[in-house]
Amino acid sequence: MDSADKDTTCINTIRTLAMDAVQAANSGHPGTPMALAPVAYCLWQRFLRFDPDDPIWPNRDRFVLSAGHASMLLYSLLHLTRVKAVNPKYEVLGELSVSLDDIKRFRQLDSRCAGHPEYRWTSGVETTTGPLGQGVATSVGMAMASGWMASTFNRPGFDMVGYDTYALCGDGCLMEGVAAEAASLAGHLGLSNLCWIYDNNKITIEGHTNWAFTEDVATRFIGYGWNVTRVGDANDLDMLERAFTTFKSTDDRPTLIIVDSHIAWGSPNKQDTHGAHGSPLGEEEIRLTKKNYNWPENAQFLVPDEVPEHFAQGIGKRGRAAREAWMEQFRAYEKEFPQLAKQLYQMQHRQLPDGWDRGLPQFEAGTSLAGRDASATVLNALAKNVPWLIGGSADLAPSTKTRLTFDDAGDLTADNPGGRNIHFGVREHAMASVLNGLSLCKIRPYGSGFLIFSDYARAAIRLSALMEIPVVHIFTHDSIGVGEDGPTHQPVEHLASLRAMPGLLVLRPADANEVVGAWRVIMETRHEPAVLILSRQKLPTIDRATFAQADVARGAYALTDDTDPDVILLATGSEVSLCLDAHAALARDNITARVVSMPSWELFEAQDDDYKRTVLPPRVRARVAVEKASTFGWDRYAGSEGQIIGLETFGASAPLAELQKKFGFTVDNVVSAARASIASAAERRDREGK
């Protein structure tokens, strides 16, 4: 079998596996994997620097299937190239990441071939995709990470990092706004190691793209500052190779390869269907299509022996040689630059360097400091100790106080890819996606904005939780404390909605020392994204000689020393000091109130029942929960006799003092609620005869 025949056999194996898997599942999208099989084959077999025997080798090229509905394209490649599985301890196992049985059980429970590619579930999947646009936006972060690591770790004679990132997308991805934000940023930064492959098949779920998408994509990307090239036929391997070669030789900008694709099915009635989306073809259509391919018509899940052998001689041989050369170079690098080598290893294994918490401040009582200002001090101290802690803001760094100000921190720009301050521009959604890409490459990234704008970033935040990657989202201006800016800038439902997201750690510290504790918790997480919610307004630093030490790691703790309280006052953030003032007022009337600071529901729920009962004794039914946000969810802690002081409406534009009075965030109102709850609890005890 000559080389061209081997190419055709490999491509048709990818196509037929996709057809058979979707048919067996009675669910999925066969068209795009079939149409783009030659594109993916050309990239993987001839260009991608990737070792199937070690799919987490740090300097591998990244391949992102942004068109996640075409997941069978990636699963077929992972199976045919014999990519090995990797466990959570970063150990490469002998078994295949995707077996033929997994493909036969496509979209079924516990199969490694989920409906859309899922990071941490299937080795070789570089990022979770499915929501359109997320993959290409995440790929920008991956490309930035390559440039940052090259600038940080490479030395003369030691090019330890310098991988390329490829992302395959379709019309749907390019319609999504996040893709436009990310493409604009990539062009601005001149990310020449980034290549997007655009499947120009002119079809979406509803039908032809003429219904909704008629722009000139090439001109748009030229305007972004990209290099744009075109392949008129997705089946033309020579033109595809030429396009990828053009990308490799472009050193000043990212590249968009526009590939025109069209599926020709077996039967005439399918000739006008492009098949980017859809459903199983049906057994008869599959038989006719296989006949078109000169494939055994009745064979299912057929993988000819020569196919994995051919891939082994291409991507396998090339990837193994590149990885072995890199490993040999790393051993020499360890001797020449031991500190840098240690940092690279620690970063890749999500380990913290020795002394990572050196110099963290302890804030003195009697002072007042906004949460964002305390965080700025802590962040700068941490970043000095953790060289791969980098990030920035969506054009709000002066307000979120997230700029690294120490010597040599620098700004990440096209001319300085190793800077540690990233300017994302007014692009909250792309920022969160880029953070995911940075984190997937093991940088420890943070991004910041106002809490109200977490709405713009929510889709990418959700993916960080789904992938279990430790991205840090810093949100300031956390409540009606924004004041005169009014309800458009005053978050109400955001805390509740973020707390509702599985796998997301939400922290709202009450004072400067809780901010320190929150950052300690965040830095020690390895598989959880965190949202740090900070105030714009100053918060009094709690006197820890009088009240308990900050215990953020447990999620909630009693600030006051009491054994049999009459009522429990629960709060987060700025409302904790309000509850302490109410505690003093109640004490003057001989009412004992326990004040509980609850910076993180998630951390508290992770504690054992004994600790939770110690903080919130079940016998104390009189409770008041106070938070300048939606009351939603607080009933789980307030109980049926409890009172909740929160927001049931949007805020208003007025000075903070007036807003606090209007919405009941005053000492008098907390005291009144405490009395009401005590009375309600007493009535219940009387009814129950206790």
Which residues touch 443 (CB under 8 Å, ≥6 apart)?
A: 145, 148, 149, 347, 388, 390
Terminal alpha carbon distance of the chain: 88
Using H for helix, E for strand and C for coil, what is the string for 398-409?
HHHCCCCCCCCC
Measured CA angle at 166 (ends 47, 179), to 5 deg: 160
SS3 call for 213: coil
Residue reference for tokens 């997308």: 169
Question: Rounded to whole angstroms, how far apart are CA atoms 593 and 193?
Answer: 60
Which residues touch 93 (CB under 8 Å, ≥6 apart)?
A: 84, 85, 86, 87
Q: 141, 158, 161: which is closest to 149 by C-alpha?
A: 161
Amino acid at residue number 137: A
Look up 428 and say whether it is catalytic: yes
What are the DSSP calls for 565-607, one per residue?
A: -SEEEEE-TTHHHHHHHHHHHHHTTT--EEEEE-S-HHHHHTS
What are the DSSP calls for 270-298, one per residue?
A: GTT---SS-----HHHHHHHHHHTT--TT
CB atoms within 10 A of CB 607: 16
DSSP letter at 527 equals: S
Which letter, b or e, does each residue of 339-362 get, where b requires 16 or more Cβ atoms within 10 Å of its Cβ? Answer: ebbebbebbbeeebeeebbeebee
Q: 111, 109, 110: which is closest to 98 by C-alpha?
A: 111
Report phi then psi at 541, rounded to 5.
-75, 120
Tell me the angle at which helices 71-80 and 3-25 cross, rounded to the nearest 10 degrees: 130
Measured CA angle at 379 (ends 374, 380), to 5 deg: 105
CB 603 within 8 A of CB 620: no
SS3 call for 92: strand
Question: Rounded to whole angstroms, how far apart are CA atoms 61 and 349?
Answer: 18
Q: Which of 176, 285, 428, 514 is catalytic?
A: 428
- For residue 169, what is the enclosing H or E element? strand 165-170
In this structure, the chain runs to a length of 690
Question: Rounded to whole angstroms, how far apart are CA atoms 501 and 486?
Answer: 27
Instruction: Show which residues are catalytic.
Output: 428
